Amino acid sequence: MRTYYLGIDTSCYTTSCAIIDSNGCIIGEARKLLDVKPGMKGLQQSNMVFQHTKVLSRLLEELPQVPITSIGVSAFPRREENSYMPAFLVGHGMARGLGHLLQVPVYEFSHQENHILAALRLIDTIPTDPFLSLHVSGGTTELALYHYTGKGIFTSSIIGGSKDLQGGQFIDRVGVALGLQFPAGRTLEQLAVEATDYDPLPSSVKDGWISFAGPCSEALRRIEKGVVPSSMAKSLFSCIGNSLEKLLSYHIEKLGIHTLIAVGGVMSNSILRNRINGMCHKKQVAIHFAEPYYSVDNATGNAFGALLASGDLR
């Protein structure tokens, strides 16, 4: 008998929901980017909560009406830190209410686990050995060591990442300074592909930790001096690529782990994916990317987690 699983995610910049079946196939999905006014570099949490609250019920109405077996939802940014972020309260509250009315279990996942589960659904495998996960987005730049414990749950420890500015913040600050609309990643990627030359930005990585603050300050100074936008875009992604390669090389050599899953909005960037794919090939590391559409924030991972937690995967 075919069964169905609902996923909900209310992250910093996307409201999303999805339904998958017991084979892990998507049968319905809806998502919406939160609105950011031109010239702004982001949103306050109160604004995120307001926009999630306004749109989530409408997105749920776009999904097919099928009997839901269980619900998976992002309840917090990270599992181990008892972390808290108001934006996730919207999805969490909706999931608990629906779970009560439908009399189905609700499984709580972290936002990071949602991303990892979205990738695992696509590659159709669950690693049995410890693996590395690189998550780069507007709110996160971290490398974590993961171990799957069953039923959609992982143990993890953060071993590297950025100590200051996040990768997505770096991209968007450069984009907004160039006069682009937030979020600026996709437009900057197009500009970078068009560039014929560029002046490299420095990259700063020490003991497996990145600092993007210095390179970002240098990029903003160049923009004030009138750098060509396409050249700046290529410098930006070259800097981030160099930084991520140094970060990954340090920890891969230190730990001897040979499986990497790369997720997050920044990891939908084709330039960075090619860089990391090439490095992993040289180091004989198995690299798994989610498709770009499912690398950015979406709820399919939580739906897949609910399926795994229910023990119904076929």
Q: Which residues are bridge partners to 206 per DSSP?
A: 209
Looking at every residue in the chain, the average pLDDT score rounds to: 93
Does residue 288 sit in the same domain as residue 171?
yes
54: helix, strand or coil: helix
One-letter amino acid identity for 265?
G
Cβ proximity of 284 and 258 under 8 Å: yes
Q: Is residue 150 part of a domain?
A: no
Bridge partners for 154 per DSSP: 148
The per-residue pLDDT for 139 is 81
The verdict on whether omega for the bond into residue 77 sits within 30 degrees of 0, i.e. cis, is no
Residue 137 in any domain: the answer is: no
- The verdict on residue 63 lying in a domain is yes
- Say yes or no to pLDDT of 42 above 90: no
Instruction: Dig out the tokens for 209 from the structure.
Output: 């930790």
DSSP letter, residue 251: H
Q: Measured between alpha carbons, how far is residue 171 from residues 185, 190, 292 in Å?
A: 6, 13, 17
Q: What are phi and psi of 20, to 5 degrees?
A: -120, 160
Region of poorest pLDDT, from 38-47, 70-79, 115-124: 38-47
Q: What is the pTM of this model?
A: 0.87
231 and 121 share a domain? no
Mean pLDDT of 128-153: 89
Answer yes or no: is pLDDT of 196 > 70. Answer: yes
**Is residue 261 one of the residues assigned to a domain?**
yes
Residue 155 lies in a domain: no
Provide the domain limits for residue 44.
4-126+294-310
Task: Reply yes or no on whether the pLDDT at 230 is more than 90.
Answer: yes
Considering only CA atoms, which of 252, 294, 248, 253 is closest in space to residue 272? Answer: 248
Computed on alpha carbons and rounded to an integer, the radius of gyration of the chain in Å comes to: 19
82, pLDDT greater than 70: no
- On whether residue 241 sits in a domain, the answer given is yes
